[in-house]
Chains A and B, each alone.
Chain A
Amino acid sequence: MSAVLLGQALVGGLLTGAVYSLMAVGLSLIFGVMRVTNFAHGELMMVGMYVTVFASAASGLDPYLTLPAAAVSLFVVGYLLQRVLVGRVLEMPEEIQVLLLVGVALVLQNGALFLFGPNHRGVQTPLALAALPLGPLTVDVARLVAGGLAVALTGALALFLGRSRLGTLLRAAADSRDGARIVGADVNRLYGVAYGLGAACAGTAGALIVPFFEVAPDVALPFTLTSFVVVILGGMGSLAGAFVGGLVVGVAEAIGAVVFAPSLKPVVAFGLLVLILVVRPTGLLGRA
C-alpha cells in the first residue's frame, strides 16, 4: 500500500467526516436538549436534499446558493415536528418516542417515493466534476466546499449556542427543564427551536452533498446510522464530541477501506463504536 493511497484516503476521509460532523451535531443538539433520539435524522437530511434539488432547478441558481432555502425550510419542518408530534411524547416511555420517530421516518421516506418516484435526482454545478491537484493527491472541489462549509456552519452554531441569549436559554433548558421554566423560559418553544436547529443541520448537510451524491427516497438509513455512531463515539449530547467524532469516523472509514477492504467500511465504523463503548462508555468528549 502506497503513501499516496493513504494520503488520498486521509484527505477524502476528513472532507467526508466534516459533513458527518454537521449532521451529527444536529442529532446531538436534539438529544442534548430534550433527550430524544431523532430516528428520522437521515430522512430529514433527505428532505434537505430534495429541497436543494428543486430549489436549484426552479431558480436556476447554483445549489450552493440555495443552501439557505434548505436550512430555513428544514428549520420550519423540525420546529413543527417537535411542536405537533414529538412534544406530546416527551414525558412518555422511550419506546413510544422511538416508535413515533421511526414512524415519521417511514412516512417521510414513502411520502418521497410517492411524490417524487424512485429515481435518483441530482443538481448541476460546475464544481461537481472539478478537482485540484495537491502534489500527487487529488482534492475533490465539491467535497472541499462541502467539508469547509460544514466546518464553518458547525462553528457558527457553536458560537450561537455559546454567545447569544437564545443559545444560553437553550443550554439552560438542556441542563434542567424545570429550572428553565422557573426562570420564565418558554421551554416548549425552546424545544421547538432546538429541534428546528437540529433538523436544519441535517438538511444543510444534505444540501452540501447533493452535488456529488444524488438523492432518492431510500438514501436516509445509512446516514441515520452513521449519525448515531458519530454521536455515541463523540459523547451523547456533546456538540464538540459530535464534531470530533464525525472527523474520526470519516477518516477511519477511508483508511479502513484502504488498509482492509472497501466493503469493511461499516465494520470499521461500528467496530470503533464498540471499542469506545468498552473503553470509554461516555464517548470521546462526553461527561459521565
Chain B
Amino acid sequence: MGLVGRPGMDRRAFLAGAGAAAVTMAAGARIGAAQAKTIKIGAIHPVSGVLAQVGQACRQGAQLAVAEINRAGGIRSKDARLELLVGDSESKAEVGAAEAERLIREGAQIIIGAFQSDVVMAIAQVCERREVPFVVDVGAADQITTSGFTKVFRIFPTTSALGKNGAAYLAEIIRLSGAQVERAVVTYTKDLFGTVVSKAFLQAMEAAKSPVKIVEVIGYDLTVQDLSTEVARIKAARPDVLLPFNRIRDSVMLVRELYKQRVPLKGILSPGSPGWYEKEFIEQTGPLGEFAMDAPPWYNPKSPLHGRVEAAFRRAYDRGVDTNSGYSYEGIVVAADALERAKSLDPAGIVAALRTTSIKDHLMAGGPITFDAQGQNVNASTSLIQVQKRRPVVVLPDAEAEARPVFPAPGWDERT
C-alpha cells in the first residue's frame, strides 16, 4: 500500500515525505560509494570540428585512465575518487581558454590537454593566472615550455625533438638497409603543426649534414580535396623516399594517388605526423598502406602496462591505443600520481608534487617521466613504427622493437 492511498494524508505531507525519502536515498548512495570526496580533473580536447577524430581519441584515453584509477581505489592517500570534467576546444585557442575558465570555475584542480599547440598556449595563460596546474598531454611547440610558465608540465616531446628524431631515424633506416637513398620529397599540410614540424625537420636534416637531398618541398591545404596534382609533382621529382607531414584524410588520399600514378618509391617515412597508424588509415588503404613508416611519439610495446592498457582500449573503443589516446591516458596518470603524493591539495602542493614526478613504468616510449625546471618531460621520445600485416609495429629503437623494419618496401603491385 503506497503513501498516496492512505487516508488523512494531504498533498503537502506527501511531498514532504517524498522529499525526505529522496534526500535519505541520495545520502545513502554517497555513503554506499564509501568515498565522499572527489577531486576534479579538467580535460580539454578538440572533440568537434576539423580535429574531432583525434580529439575524441584523446578524451577516450583520459576517460579510460580515470575509470581505471577509480576502480583501483581512486586517490588513496586523500581517500578521494577522481572526477573527469570534459571540455571541447573546437580546435580554437579562444574557445580552449574559455573552457579552461569554465572547468576551473566548476572545481577542476588540474587541467590536462589540449592537442594543438596554440590552444595549449591559450590554456596555459589561463592556468597561470588562476594558479591551476596544467599537464600538457599532446602539444609539441617548443615555446610551451620555454615561455616561463610555472604551472605547466608537458609529457609530450618538443617540435625540435620531433624533427631531430625524424632525421635520425631516416639515417638509421638507410644505414641498416644499405639501400641507396639520394633524393627525397617532403610534403606538409599548411596548418601550424605541419608548417612548424616540417621546418624543424628540414633544419635537423641540414644540421645533421644528411646525404639525402630534399629535391622538393610541397605544402598543401589541410582541407585539400584532391592530391592528384601534388602527386604528379612528386612523381616528376623522382624521389627515392617520400617524407610526409599530414593528417589522416590526406594520408589515405596520398597513398591511393601514389599507387594510381605508380610513383616508384623505396619507402614512405613520415618523420612524426599522425595519419599512418590509425585504424582508418590501415582499413582504407589495405595493402597499399603496408610498409608505411612513421616516427611519432608512440607507446612502448615492451612496457609492463602495455598489454593491459591495449586490451582495455580494444574492449572499450574497438581500437588500439595510439599516440593521442595514449598520451592523454598518460596525462591522467601523471596528474593522479601527483595528487597521490601531494602534501596538500592546494595549487602549490600539487605543483610541488608534479615537480618531483618520477614514473618509471609507464605506457609511452622513453625513459622515466620527470620534468626539468621548465616543466618539460626530459625523457619524452619517439619511436619508428611501420605498418606490417595491417598493424602498426615498433621497428626502432631496438630495445622496444616488435619487428624488423622492411626497407626498401616492395613495389606497389607486389603488395598483398
Co-complex (A, B): yes
A140 contacts chain B at the CB level, 8 A cutoff: yes
1/0 contact string of A250-274 vs chain B (CB within 8 Å): 0000100110011101100000000
1/0 contact string of A210-228 vs chain B (CB within 8 Å): 0011101111011100000
Chain A residues numbered 186-244 whose CB sits less than 8 Å from any CB in chain B:
209, 212-214, 216-219, 221-223
Question: Pick the contact of A113 from B48, B259, B260, B262 — CB < 8 Å?
Answer: B48
Q: In the complex, are the beta carbons of A258 and B229 less than 8 A apart?
A: yes
A120 contacts chain B at the CB level, 8 A cutoff: yes
Give the docked Cα–Cα distance between A129 and B257 (Å): 8
Give the docked Cα–Cα distance between A259 and B362 (Å): 50
Give the docked Cα–Cα distance between A16 and B253 (Å): 15
Q: In the complex, are the beta carbons of B280 and A262 less than 8 A apart?
A: no
Sort chain B's interface into a size bin.
Answer: 35 or more
A262 CB, min distance to chain B CBs, angstroms = 4
Q: In the complex, are the beta carbons of B236 and A4 less than 8 A apart?
A: yes
Q: Say whether, besides A9-B232, A222-B225, A117 and B56 are in contact (CB < 8 Å).
A: yes
B375 CB, min distance to chain A CBs, angstroms = 30
B248 contacts chain A at the CB level, 8 A cutoff: yes
A179 contacts chain B at the CB level, 8 A cutoff: no
A138 contacts chain B at the CB level, 8 A cutoff: yes
B53 contacts chain A at the CB level, 8 A cutoff: yes
| Residue ID in chain A nearest B248 by CB atoms | A120
Give the docked Cα–Cα distance between A222 and B223 (Å): 7
| Segment from B110-118, B214-222, B382-390 that makes contact with A | B214-222
Q: In the complex, are the beta carbons of B249 and A110 less than 8 A apart?
A: no
Q: In the complex, are the beta carbons of B229 and A254 less than 8 A apart?
A: yes
Q: Say whether, besides A113-B48, A214-B249, A263-B190, A8 and B284 are in contact (CB < 8 Å).
A: no
B391 contacts chain A at the CB level, 8 A cutoff: no
Q: In the complex, are the beta carbons of B249 and A8 less than 8 A apart?
A: no
Sort chain A's interface into a size bin.
Answer: 35 or more
Total A-B pairs in contact (CB under 8 Å)? 99
Q: In the complex, are the beta carbons of B52 and A113 less than 8 A apart?
A: yes
Give the docked Cα–Cα distance between A225 and B406 (Å): 43
Q: Say whether, besides A12-B228, A218-B52, A257-B229, A120 and B249 are in contact (CB < 8 Å).
A: yes
A103 contacts chain B at the CB level, 8 A cutoff: no
Chain B residues numbered 77-96 whose CB sits less than 8 Å from any CB in chain A:
none
B213 contacts chain A at the CB level, 8 A cutoff: no
Chain A residues numbered 99-121 whose CB sits less than 8 Å from any CB in chain B:
110, 113, 117-120
Q: In the complex, are the beta carbons of B261 and A131 less than 8 A apart?
A: yes
B50 contacts chain A at the CB level, 8 A cutoff: yes
A57 CB, min distance to chain B CBs, angstroms = 13
B230 CB, min distance to chain A CBs, angstroms = 5
Q: Given the complex, which residues of B lie within 8 Å of A257, measured CB to CB?
A: 229-230, 233
Give the docked Cα–Cα distance between A14 and B302 (Å): 51
Q: In the complex, are the beta carbons of A118 and B229 less than 8 A apart?
A: no
| Residue ID in chain A nearest B412 by CB atoms | A129
Give the docked Cα–Cα distance between A214 and B256 (Å): 12
Question: Pick the contact of B53 from A8, A118, A221 — CB < 8 Å?
Answer: A118
B416 CB, min distance to chain A CBs, angstroms = 14
Q: In the complex, are the beta carbons of A9 and B229 less than 8 A apart?
A: yes
Q: Say whether, besides A118-B52, A262-B219, A263-B190, A138 and B260 are in contact (CB < 8 Å).
A: yes
A29 CB, min distance to chain B CBs, angstroms = 22
B317 CB, min distance to chain A CBs, angstroms = 11
| Residue ID in chain B nearest A218 by CB atoms | B50
A218 CB, min distance to chain B CBs, angstroms = 5
Q: In the complex, are the beta carbons of B260 and A261 less than 8 A apart?
A: no
Q: In the complex, are the beta carbons of B228 and A262 less than 8 A apart?
A: no
Chain A residues numbered 115-157 whose CB sits less than 8 Å from any CB in chain B:
117-120, 122, 128-131, 138, 140, 143
Q: Given the complex, which residues of A lie within 8 Å of B220, measured CB to CB?
A: 262-263, 265
Q: Say whether, besides A212-B256, A214-B252, A118 and B236 are in contact (CB < 8 Å).
A: no
B132 CB, min distance to chain A CBs, angstroms = 28
Q: In the complex, are the beta carbons of A262 and B218 less than 8 A apart?
A: yes
Q: In the complex, are the beta carbons of A258 and B233 less than 8 A apart?
A: yes
1/0 contact string of B15-58 vs chain A (CB within 8 Å): 00000000000000000000000000000000111101101100
Q: In the complex, are the beta carbons of B225 and A262 less than 8 A apart?
A: no
Q: Say whether, besides A218-B50, A218-B52, A120 and B280 are in contact (CB < 8 Å).
A: yes
1/0 contact string of B236-277 vs chain A (CB within 8 Å): 100000000000110011001001111000000000000000
A53 CB, min distance to chain B CBs, angstroms = 12
Give the docked Cα–Cα distance between A140 and B256 (Å): 11
Give the docked Cα–Cα distance between A9 and B219 (Å): 17
Q: Given the complex, which residues of A lie within 8 Å of B260, measured CB to CB?
A: 129-131, 138, 140
Give the docked Cα–Cα distance between A165 and B49 (Å): 44
A166 contacts chain B at the CB level, 8 A cutoff: no
A270 CB, min distance to chain B CBs, angstroms = 12
Q: Given the complex, which residues of B lie within 8 Å of A221, measured CB to CB?
A: 223
Question: Pick the contact of A5 from B47, B226, B232 — CB < 8 Å?
Answer: B232
Subset of 22 A-B contacts with CB under 8 Å = A9-B232, A12-B232, A113-B48, A113-B52, A117-B52, A118-B52, A118-B55, A118-B56, A119-B53, A122-B284, A131-B260, A131-B262, A140-B228, A213-B225, A218-B49, A218-B52, A219-B223, A221-B223, A258-B229, A261-B219, A262-B218, A262-B233
Given pairs A138-B262, A218-B52, 8 additional interface contacts (CB within 8 A): A8-B229, A8-B232, A12-B232, A117-B52, A118-B56, A216-B53, A262-B219, A263-B220
The 4 A-B residue pairs whose C-beta atoms are closest, nearest first, are: A118-B52, A257-B229, A131-B260, A12-B228
